[in-house]
Structure 1
Amino acid sequence: MASMIRQSRAALAACLLMGFMLAGCAAPPNGGRDELGVVEPWDPLENVNRVTFDANMWLNDNAIGPAAQAYRWAVPDYVQLRLRHGIENLGEPLIFGNDLAQARIKAAFTTFWRFVFNSTIGLAGMYDVATDMGLTRQTGDVGQTLYAWGVRQSPYFVLPLFGPSTVRDGVGLGVELWADPTGRVFDHADGGDANYAIGVVGGLDKARNLETLNELRKGTIDFYALLRSVWLQNRQAALDEAIGVTTNNMPEIP
């Protein structure tokens, strides 16, 4: 199982990298923002993206959504919260590494101590004691790091299963899936099944937002365009944070 997981990560990373090279379209003017600073969609792959989007929505409606509902019904809320915190804690080393790569020393310092306190006092991260101590969870991913390193404009790209992204962030996700330090630890400890279980539980937990998305879908004619716009505005806030720019009044995304 562990070798299959490693192979799937490598395959995804290779496919995303190929997509990055194939999407060499002219960048939008003004850095992709209008005169008010709002991110304008750059979607040269829209036809392909809409097909992937429709497939994702079908999976959400017919497989992921029902599985997530069964998970919430079978697992008590208290246990769900403990598992959620534990899985989030496993992601802190990757955030720490990206914060360092972005020269966000304060964020890296906060993430380091979050991981230390939550892994010990918080019982392997099941309790988020760090937030109560004023150490809030930081952002930090490979897509952000690439942005901070100069890869600014990137086409919107809908990923199978993972949903809204950009080509740059998709490549970053592929790198993260391949190089995730926590996953490597489990692999070396012959814990490939643990990796698989963590991925499944984490996915089912995140799917709790599908009901909110479904409500949002009922009130719009073009759900694809609405979700694209909202996601891009929120993602830009995280990207701006990587270069020390504070972005306010971002619309909330479920």
Structure 2
Amino acid sequence: MGTAVLVSASNAVAQTDNSLQQQAVKAEPMNSVDPYEGFNRSMFAFNMAFNDSIGKPVANAYNNVVPQPLRTGVSNVFDNLSTPISAVNCFLQGKVEDGLSEIMRFTINSTFGLFGILDIAEPAGLEAKNEDLGQTLYTWGMWTESNYLVLPFVGPFTTRELTGGLVDSSYDPVYINWIEADEGERRLIYMTDGFIQYSKVVNLIDDIKNQPDPYVFSRESYLQHRTNLIYDGKPPQPALDDFNFE
């Protein structure tokens, strides 16, 4: 069934946004530090067309039909499920206090917050840390250079982030010890989480499309986002002649 969905989506996309598809075909690498730019632009065009034809209408329907409090509760549940992995990576980076804070967040929200529906930890001063193995690998100095990569449907990553995410998901204690989800159930949960996150920002995509070069704008914004995560919101000022890709 998953293959059929992908094929149907691909056919719909191919029929909806020819201008973006043509842009992807004509695009040639312009940035030597973006070695996958040709592929990335093709996937970016595909994702934009998918957004216009399928993603945005579905996300808007979800936002219009489901009441805001319920949407917030669902989003909180998925945010809560990611907390244990964040805690593990806090400890791996030597951020013991942050790791303990994440454990407290998860414990409080999973119990008093009704399995995470209510985020009562943040008002109590326990803010989410959002750590992952991609950030940990950079912190360890094991993988300091990383390339930008755009995948169909799921969007942008860096190669380090993607690798770290795959490792994180393989041992995630929430799905192994708590939910006890099999591989298929995990994929469904991840897909649902991705849609929930997408539905929160879907209306911002039009702003990206209005940029002189939407792909470059999206790339630079995403890499800046990853850099801010690595440095906990306090990245070093880059030299004018140096471009750090993450």
TM-score by length of structure 2 reads: 0.76
Change (3 A) 1:69 1:107: same
Q: 1:232 aligns with which of 208, 223, 241?
A: 223
Find the partner of 1:247 among 235, 238, 246. Answer: 235
| 1:133 aligned counterpart, secondary structure | coil
Secondary structure at 1:158 match in 2? strand
Question: Which residue matches 2:160?
Answer: 168
Whole-Å separation in 2 of the counterparts to 1:191 and 1:159: 21
- 8 Å Cα contact 1:98-1:140 kept in structure 2: yes
| CA distance in structure 1 between the partners assigned to 2:36 and 2:45 by the alignment | 14
Distance 2:165 2:122 in 1: 26
The one-letter amino acid of 1:246's match is K
Is 1:205 aligned to residue 196 of structure 2?
A: yes
Distance in 2 between residues matched to 1:41 and 1:135, nearest whole Å: 41
Unaligned runs of 5+ residues in structure 1 are 5-39, 250-254
Match of 1:144 among 135, 147, 152: 135
Query: Does structure 1 retain, via aligned residues, the 8 Å contact 2:208–2:217?
Result: no
Q: Percent identical across equivalent pairs?
A: 32
Give 1:59 deviation, angstroms: 1.7
Residue of structure 2 equivalent to 1:181: 173
Q: How many residues align?
A: 207
Deviation readout 1:182-208 (Å, 9 max, x if unpaired): 222467466954x45533432222122
Task: Kindly indicate whether the alpha-carbon contact (under 8 Å) linking 2:83 and 2:130 is maintained by their aligned counterparts in 1.
Answer: no
CA distance in 2, matches of 1:41, 1:89: 39
CA contact (8 A) 1:118 1:129 kept: yes
Give the corresponding residue for 1:8.
none
Gaps in structure 2 of 5+ consecutive residues: 3-30, 238-246
Greater length-normalized contact order (CA 8 Å, ≥ 6 residues apart): 1
Letter in 2 for 1:78: P
Aligned-residue RMSD, C-alpha: 2.6
Matches within 5 A, 1:103-182: 103-150=94-141, 151-182=143-174
**Equivalent residue in structure 2 for 1:90, among 81, 84, 96:** 81
Secondary structure of the corresponding residue to residue 157 of structure 2: strand
Note closer, same or farther for the CA distance 1:188–1:50 as it changes in structure 2 (3 Å cut). same
